[in-house]
Amino acid sequence: MSNSSFVTQTRKTQTKDDMYHEKVCNPTSTSDHTTGHSQITKEGKHDNRSPVIEQDRSTENIEKNIECADDIIDLTTEDEVAEDLFDPQRRPVTRGFGINVMVNDLKLLMEPDGWLNDNIINFYLNLLSEAAQKSLNTKVFPFSTFFFSSLLNDGYDKAYRWCSNSDIFQQDFLLIPINSVSHWTLVVVDNIQREVVYYDSLNNTNNKTHLDHIKQFLLIANTERSLNLDEWCFRMKTDAAKQGNMSDCGVFTCLFAESATGLNKDVKWNDIPYERRRIATTILSRS
């Protein structure tokens, strides 16, 4: 069986009025969701050959997903969005994990040169964490996009509050998104393989200092444990996929997280417009 992406199942065709009512006027309405299938063998090992989430990858159904996302984004003009911001009855198109995703946020995904914001990245990494637990029995802890700036500005001790309610060394993966000089990158801590990998879609080796900060943080977080982090591997992912413009770094950050955690072994690195729409439809399915 071929590998499949972390993606939502096809949504039924609706009119724009129906979709507006479902997504904006009544965001708590139910919708179909894809059920994840465990990839654990009888021996308790992950079967990497099987798809994470079963889906119909036919061209027809993928296009329906994309058309649905396009229609919902087109429902609201920029002027209408500006008016809605002052409307007390304004509701997000989807919500979860303490995050409200607005129409404006989704527009950043659907625009070819849209630069993703904290809302989209935080929401999507939490979706990945949820899917990894359900589908792969893998524990993934997503740090907030605000964690790394807190680490630099407030110090290691104060930054620890971002994960104080979770034993990060009991997680399989830690996802640490970083925004530095208007550029999104990702650090993945693999507690199983005992390695920390830095993903940068511009392959800027000058950012290696980010790894040093993460290592120092892990050393402080490890004070009550006997882990020898000097035996761990801290490295740049020099062969990571490269973005072809100056605006796709946020999308690549989301895709790096999917790939590194095993949720998506079939990323279409050469078709980022498709991946943008796939991420949008996945986010919309959370309503």
Q: What is the pLDDT of residues 58-68, one digit of tens each?
A: 445 545 554 55
- At 207, the pLDDT band (50, 70, 90 cuts) reads confident
Return d(Cα 228, Cα 74) in angstroms, integer: 53
Nearest to 9 by CA among 225, 266, 281: 281
Choosing from 105, 200, 210, 254, the catalytic residue is 200
Mean per-residue pLDDT for 194-198? Answer: 96
Looking at per-residue pLDDT, the higher value among 42 and 116 belongs to 116
Considering only residues 227 and 113, tell me which one the structure prediction assigns the higher pLDDT. Answer: 113
Q: What is the pLDDT of residues 72-108, one digit of tens each?
A: 444 444 454 445 444 433 567 899 999 999 988 999 9
Mean per-residue pLDDT, 164-189: 93
**Which residue(s) pair with 198 in the sheet?**
187, 236
In three-state form (DSSP H/G/I as H, E/B as E, the rest C), the secondary structure along 249-280 is HHHHHHHHHHHHCCCCCCCCCCCHHHHHHHHH
Per-residue confidence (pLDDT) for residue 6, from 0 to 100: 56
* 249 is annotated as an active-site residue: yes
Which contacts qualify for 71-76: CB closer than 8 Å, 24 or more apart? 71/16, 71/19, 72/19, 72/20, 72/23, 72/103, 72/106, 72/284, 73/103, 73/106, 73/107, 73/110, 73/280, 74/16, 75/16, 75/19, 75/20, 75/24, 75/103, 76/24, 76/103
Six-digit token string for 185: 């990158």
Residue 86 burial (10 A CB sphere; 0-12, 13-18, 19+):
exposed
In whole angstroms, give the CA distance from residue 19 to residue 276. 20
Domains of the chain: 1-137+263-287 (no CATH), 139-261 (3.40.395.10)
Question: Is residue 176 a contact partner of residue 148, using CB atoms and an 8 Å limit?
Answer: yes
Q: Is 254 a catalytic residue?
A: no
**14 in Cβ contact with 272 (< 8 Å):** no
Tell me, what amino acid is at 91? R
Weakest mean pLDDT among 92-101, 181-190, 241-250, 256-265: 92-101
Measured CA to CA, the distance from residue 196 to residue 148 in angstroms comes to 15
Q: Measured between alpha carbons, how far is 108 from 119 in angstroms, rounded to an integer? A: 11
Q: Which residues pair with 210 in a beta bridge?
A: none
Residues 6+ apart with CB under 8 A from 99: 119, 122, 123, 126
Collapsing DSSP to helix, strand or coil, 17 comes out as helix
Return d(Cα 231, Cα 237) in angstroms, integer. 18
- Which residue in 112, 131, 134, 114 sits closest to 123, CA to CA? 131
Q: What percent of the chain has pLDDT over 90?
A: 52
3-state helix, strand, coil in the chain (%, to 5): 45, 10, 45
Does 210 qualify as catalytic in the annotation?
A: no
> What mean pLDDT is predicted for residues 2-16?
42
The answer on pLDDT for 146 being more than 50 is yes
Report the pLDDT value the prediction gives residue 192, as an integer from 0 to 100: 94
Catalytic residue among 68, 163, 249, 254: 249
169 within 8 A of 227, measured Cβ to Cβ: yes
Give me the catalytic one of 183, 210, 248, 254: 183
Average pLDDT estimate for 209-232: 86
Given a cut of 50, whether residue 166 has pLDDT beyond it is yes
Angle (deg, nearest 10), helices 118-136 and 272-284: 80
The pTM score is: 0.73
* Tens of pLDDT, residues 169-181: 999 999 999 999 9
- The confidence band for 165, taking pLDDT boundaries of 50, 70 and 90, is confident
